[in-house]
Every structure is written in structure tokens, then in C-alpha cells.
Amino acid sequence: MSTQRWVLPLAWATLVANIALVVTGGAVRLTGSGLGCPTWPRCTDRSFRPHGELSLHQAIEFGNRTLTFVLTAIAIATFVVMWRTGRRDLRVMSLITGLGIPAQAIVGGITVLTDLNPWVVSLHLLVSLAIIGVAVRLLLSVPAPLPAAQRGPTVALAWATFAAAWAVLYVGTVVTGSGPHAGDADTERNGLSPLQMSQLHADLVFLFVGLTLGLLFALMPAGGSGSPAARTAVVVLLCVELAQGTIGFVQYFTDLPEVLVGFHMLGAAVISACVTWVLLRVRRPVAAQPTGIAR
């Protein structure tokens, strides 16, 4: 059986599985299960899995750890299939996403061993968001190698939008570290003012949305130089931003209910994917929409 038929499904699986990891990691934090397994790499001092009757916190934290094995299986299968395509770009991207799994596991271990230090927890999420970006590049590269990178004012604006997105994502993790959902009731917060950090986060969101709108106008057909695929990517990003911003404001004014915070974390993962899609489509435009994410 030809491996070619598995290239696109595995590229999608890599992206979806890493987004799922963000969601399950959010569930660990929001249910206060961050120390359900109080040590690492074992769950307890004597075993890699909890024994006896499982508490809710143990089940949630151990379930999140178990997802690593699913990610590993997907990563190995993806690398093998991408290797057999003979294309260097697919091999490199699949290798990077695969290496992200042990890196993420190590950061996760440090998170537990430091009793959920909020700065380490922040890094734990950011690593996942970065892997999601690489997974998007892998997915977009499946139909054909990406075109040569272009330069110019529109590309510079796309880079500024990308940088603003990551500023929003990073400060968002700092806001969480200053708030009530730290993963365990006894975990220390980062000591920063939740009100001030939320205001900074909101200011960066306005900047991010403004840059996205500017990028959309720059890509419009009348005088613009953007391809239809690039405009589609920017429109989708803008829609995700508006949805994410709405959730963010509602959760702030309703005292951060866990369900909304969980959707906000899912939104952060989708933002990482979409802003990478935008940057690649603007910087490396294609004549027609490819099979995959841009469809």
C-alpha cells in the first residue's frame, strides 16, 4: 500500500493532536489537578501510574500524561511517512514536531517538580503553541514545497501581526499565572496584579486586531498584492480573533468560569495555527488554494 495517501491525514493528525494537548492541559489546570501525580517521570514515588482507587485529580493528570504516548505514535508514523516521500522539507518539519514531544515532556516534568511554578507553566503552554505553528507549516507544505519567501511592506506587516499574536499569547499566560486557575489550590501565583496584566493583555489584543485589519486591507484586490489564499487566511484569523476576544471579555466580567477559560485556551491554540497560516501565505504566496488548511 502506498504511503502517499497517509501524508495529508498524518499532517492533520499532528496538528489536531497538539491542539488537543493544549485542551487537556487546560483541563488539568482548571480542575486543580496539576499535582494529581505529584512527581515526574513517575506518577508516584513507586510507580509510573497511580494505584488504588483513582481520585478525580489523579485521573485527569494521568490522562493528560497518557496523551503523550498518542502524540508519540502519531509523530513516529508521520516521520516515517514523510521520510518516504523523499522531500527534505517534509522530513525536517516532521522531525521538529516529533522532537517537540520529548521537549514538552521535560518541561512538563519541571513544571511538576517545581510545584507548578507559574513561569514554568507558562513555558509549558508556549512550547505547545510553537509546535502547533510548526505543524501548520508541515500541513501547508504537503501539496507542494512552499514557494520562495518574498519581501516588502505587506510581508513586514504580516511579521508585525505574527509578533503581536505571540505577545498576546505570552501575556495571556502571565495573566493566567496571576489569577485563580494555577493548577492547584496551594500553588503560588506569580505575584503580578491580575487587573494590570489583564489590561496589558487587552491592549495587545487591540493592537493585534488592528494589525490584522491593516493586513487585510493591504491584501485587498484594489491596489493590493495579496493572493486569494492569503486573504482567506487573514479573514479566518480575524474571525477567530473576534471570537477569542469575546470569550476573553465575557470570562473577565464573569469571574473566570472554568468552561470559558477552557474555550479561551482552545482559542489560543487556534490563534497560533491561524497566524502561522497567515504569515506563510503572505510571505510565500501561492497561485491557487492548496489542499489542506486553506481549503
DSSP string, 122-167: HHHHHHHHHHHHHHHHHHHHSSSPPPPP--SHHHHHHHHHHHHHHH
| Residue 294 lies inside a defined structural domain of this protein | no
User: What percent of the chain shows pLDDT beyond 90?
Assistant: 45
Tell me, what's the pLDDT at 44?
65
Tell me, what's the pLDDT at 293?
41
Q: Which three cell numbers stand for residue 197?
A: 496584566
What is the total count of domains within the chain?
1
| Residue 289 lies inside a defined structural domain of this protein | no
pLDDT values of the chain reduced to their tens digit, one per residue, 295 residues = 456 789 999 999 999 999 998 988 877 777 766 566 666 666 666 666 665 545 656 667 767 777 888 899 999 999 999 999 889 999 999 999 999 988 888 888 888 888 778 888 888 889 999 999 999 999 999 988 888 888 889 999 999 999 999 999 999 988 887 766 554 556 677 778 888 888 999 999 999 999 999 999 999 875 555 688 899 999 999 999 999 999 988 988 888 787 888 898 999 999 999 999 999 999 988 754 444 443 3
Question: How many residues belong to the chain?
Answer: 295
Q: Residue 243: enclosing H or E segment and its boundaries?
A: helix 228-253
- Phi-psi category of residue 192: left, alpha or beta, with phi > 0 → left and psi -120 to 50 → alpha: beta
Range of the domain at 112: 4-283
List C-alpha distances in Å: 260 to 122, 132, 160, 181, 248: 19, 21, 28, 12, 8
Euclidean distance between CA atoms 212 and 223, whole angstroms:
18
| Residue 138 lies inside a defined structural domain of this protein | yes
pTM for the structure as a whole: 0.86
| Residue 117 lies inside a defined structural domain of this protein | yes
| Residue 293 lies inside a defined structural domain of this protein | no
| Residue 290 lies inside a defined structural domain of this protein | no
Torsion sign (Cα): 23, 112, 163, 178: positive
| Residue 288 lies inside a defined structural domain of this protein | no
Tell me, what's the pLDDT at 203?
94
Euclidean distance between CA atoms 278 and 283, whole angstroms:
8
Place of cell 505553528: 133
| Residue 141 lies inside a defined structural domain of this protein | yes
